[in-house]
Structure 1
Amino acid sequence: MSEALINGLAGAAGGIVAQLITYPLQTVNTRQHTERKLKKASDEDLENISEKKLQKHHGTLHLMCQVIRDEGWCRLYGGLMPSLVGTAASQGIYYYFYQIFRSKAEKIALDRRKNGKGDGSVGMLSSLLVAAFSGCLNVLFTNPIWVVVTRMQTHSKVQKRHLHAKDDNSTHLITELPATSTTDIFVPQLTEVHHFGTAHVVQEVYDEAGLMGFWKGVMPTLIMVSNPSIQFMLYETLLKRLRAKRALNKPGLQSISAVEIFLLGALAKLGATVTTYPLLVVKSRLQAKQQTGSDNAHQYTGTLDAIAKVIHHEGLSVLYKGMSTKIVQSVLAAAILFMIKEELVEAIRKMVSRNQKLIK
């Protein structure tokens, strides 16, 4: 069994576990990305407390409780099955090609050392390129899965809001707001729509844009390859320095504990997430179902168009909306993934060494 396959399988398993643990935070974060300010339905009569509440952006815990209250616990896991498939595929493909490219980079470094150039170790730039190439292949293969997942995460049982006039005796639907209203209270009423599954989402995306619809958001996603590139560059660098320091203090001892791997993974992911977060918001906006109607403020034709419209209509700060949620989710997921992956890699290696027949 090759090192690339071992790392691919371990990465896929670690990714699945991390996804299961952190998925509710991912769902909430995707909704934060795609949440938009509601347009005014009419004149100043709508500027009341209820309407302001509708337009107010809430924090992570508030939004999570709101989803549970209005739609049930299951909505926090909307799109979980295709997401697990996507995670297994993404991590497996990424680690498989990462190990292949990494091995080639190490061979080149050793050849350079024989020629009197370098110390034989893979440099920071080479690590960055290895992660970037692996990430690009991963994106091209798995983007259709994440388009489906984003649609399912942002689909809500409660999608339509109507204003009802409530008095002491009855509550009735208002189709046209009265010229003046001093005694009635306008209360937002929720209209429930049915869930839809993976097959429905696939058909919806295809009907909207054909096969190319499954590669929506691929450009910002390809640019975001720099995220795992930065992450793994930081991780490999920190890990290398820790092992060197450990060997210097205790010669012959370079083993790193699972807790240390957890902390190194968390620190690496933190730095990468803060750097590339705005691209994640744009990607989610492009992959989510586009709003239709006469207003084109929330209809995007591409990456640059989405960035321009978000900044113009909603402000620059929206590109960092929900970043705290993403930091918690991504850092925790990455730390769990690295810890489990390293443990599984060692376990598989030991198993293979005991049974040489498994080695190809």
Structure 2
Amino acid sequence: MSDALINGLAGAGGGIIAQLITYPLQTVNTRQQTNRDPKDKKNLGTFQQMCQVVKHEGWERLYGGLTPSLVGTATSQGVYYYFYQIFRNRAEAAALEKKMLGTGDGSVGMFSSLIVAALSGCVNVLLTNPIWLVVTRMQTHRKESKRTLSDPRLSDAINQTTLSTVELRAYGTSHVIQEVYDEAGVLGFWKGVLPTLVMVSNPSIQFMLYETLLAKLKKGRASNSVTAIEIFLLGAIAKLGATVVTYPLLVVKARLQARQVQNGDKRHHYKGTWDAIIKMIRYEGFNGFYKGMGTKIVQSVLAAAVLFMVKEELVKQTRFLLSKPKLV
């Protein structure tokens, strides 16, 4: 089994476990990001918002879109780590070649690590964007009751189109796929791909920080090994730095992928990335780009830390099992 395949499968396994642990936080965060009302002054905490969802919509809404999300996570992490290892191997080979020619010390530098992570991220985004669009739709879907449908206090935008009899049916994966296709055809599944491609800088920054910190930690150790707890902490620190820098792009992506009411308030209808950015600045101010950032930091840092820890352990155990001599 190739090293790239081992890392790809381990990344998929680590991603699934991290997703299962942090999914309710992710659902709440996506709702915070797609809240387009600049007059909303509730400022409920993450735990309070989770309680509100459970109270009004049931426990299952915290896990809306979990199935496609797990598929997306396994696919995304598998694809990312597989291509990351391939590109990483090539970068290491190039570094060793330069050392033989008398330039460099044979190690992959910070800039090369950034390029490797960026290339892996681009491949991952192009292949998995449709899955994450479906997940975003399911996370932001709000379960409404018949009583609410007849409530005259609802806004005009809701009364016009969003709450029809179709809302009372199960909002499953197949329904979302059909909905997206009816709205914009096949290309509709790549909504938000531009800010997502730009956002490859997030895992790029994350892996650059992670690899740099890991190299420094290993340096000077005779065994050249690190513990699972140390990997957990390194993953958390790396993800924290990347999330703070790239969060506004994540909000724009979520806005574009969430369902938009065609006949509703035009301030909340986005034609594309730049239209979304301009309208958010005009109607919500720069604060709109940081909605739910606290929740995202907790969710993403915890998920990344678990992912790194589990992935490294899976890689280590797999290599150990493959290296054991076969009994004749």
Structures share fold, TM-score greater than 0.5: yes
Contact preservation (8 Å) 1:24, 1:77: yes
Matched, 1:233 2:201: no
1:297 alignment partner, SS class: helix
RMSD of aligned Cα (Å): 2.1
Residue of 64, 67, 85 corresponding to 2:53: 67
**Pair 350,315 (structure 1): closer, same or farther in 2 beyond 3 Å:** same
The C-alpha deviation readout for 1:295-352, integer Å capped at 9, x for no partner, is 3101111111101101101111010010000000000000000000000001000111
Residue 16 of structure 1: aligned partner: 16
Distance 2:210 2:30 in 1: 26
Distance 1:220 1:211 in 2: 19
Matched, 1:145 2:115: no
Q: Which amino acid letter does the alignment assign opposite residue 313 of structure 1?
A: Y
Residue 218 of structure 1: aligned partner: 193
Residue 186 of structure 1: aligned partner: none
Distance 1:305 1:27 in 2: 25
**Pair 329,174 (structure 1): closer, same or farther in 2 beyond 3 Å:** closer
Residue of 74, 81, 102 corresponding to 1:88: 74
The C-alpha deviation readout for 1:49-87, integer Å capped at 9, x for no partner, is xxx8x7634221221111000011110000000000000
Q: Which amino acid letter does the alignment assign opposite residue 258 of structure 1?
A: A
**Pair 106,356 (structure 1): closer, same or farther in 2 beyond 3 Å:** farther
Matched, 1:316 2:286: yes
The C-alpha deviation readout for 1:23-56, integer Å capped at 9, x for no partner, is 0000000000111218xxxxxxxxxxxxx8x763
Q: Which amino acid letter does the alignment assign opposite residue 58 of structure 2?
A: G
How far is the alpha carbon of 1:163 from its aligned partner?
Answer: 8.7
Equivalent pairs counted in the alignment come to 316
In structure 2, list runs of 5 or more residues that go unmatched. 156-164
**Pair 156,337 (structure 1): closer, same or farther in 2 beyond 3 Å:** same
Residue 224 of structure 2: aligned partner: 254
Residue 144 of structure 2: aligned partner: 158
Distance 2:49 2:136 in 1: 17
Matched, 1:111 2:94: no
Distance 1:56 1:278 in 2: 21
TM-score (norm 1): 0.84
Residue 323 of structure 2: aligned partner: 353
**Pair 5,55 (structure 1): closer, same or farther in 2 beyond 3 Å:** same
Distance 1:115 1:150 in 2: 50
**Pair 174,145 (structure 1): closer, same or farther in 2 beyond 3 Å:** closer
**Pair 26,126 (structure 1): closer, same or farther in 2 beyond 3 Å:** same
Contact preservation (8 Å) 1:154, 1:288: yes
How far is the alpha carbon of 1:229 from its aligned partner?
Answer: 0.1
- Give the structure with the larger strand fraction: 1
Distance 1:153 1:295 in 2: 21
Distance 1:318 1:266 in 2: 25
2:106 alignment partner, SS class: coil
Distance 2:243 2:300 in 1: 8
The C-alpha deviation readout for 1:77-107, integer Å capped at 9, x for no partner, is 0000000000000000000000000000000
Q: Which amino acid letter does the alignment assign opposite residue 36 of structure 2?
A: R
Residue 291 of structure 1: aligned partner: 261
The C-alpha deviation readout for 1:257-294, integer Å capped at 9, x for no partner, is 00000000000000000000000000000000012325
Distance 2:140 2:170 in 1: 11
The C-alpha deviation readout for 1:202-224, integer Å capped at 9, x for no partner, is 00000000000000000000000
- Give the structure with the larger helix fraction: 2
Q: Which amino acid letter does the alignment assign opposite residue 280 of structure 2?
A: V
Residue of 191, 194, 198 corresponding to 2:169: 194
In structure 1, list runs of 5 or more residues that go unmatched. 39-51, 165-172, 177-190
Q: Which amino acid letter does the alignment assign opposite residue 93 of structure 2?
A: K
**Pair 355,16 (structure 1): closer, same or farther in 2 beyond 3 Å:** farther
Residue 250 of structure 2: aligned partner: 280
Contact preservation (8 Å) 1:157, 1:194: no
Larger Rg: 1
Residue of 129, 134, 143 corresponding to 2:115: 129
Distance 1:354 1:319 in 2: 52
User: Aligned residues: percent identity?
Assistant: 67
Distance 2:73 2:325 in 1: 30
Distance 1:159 1:57 in 2: 25
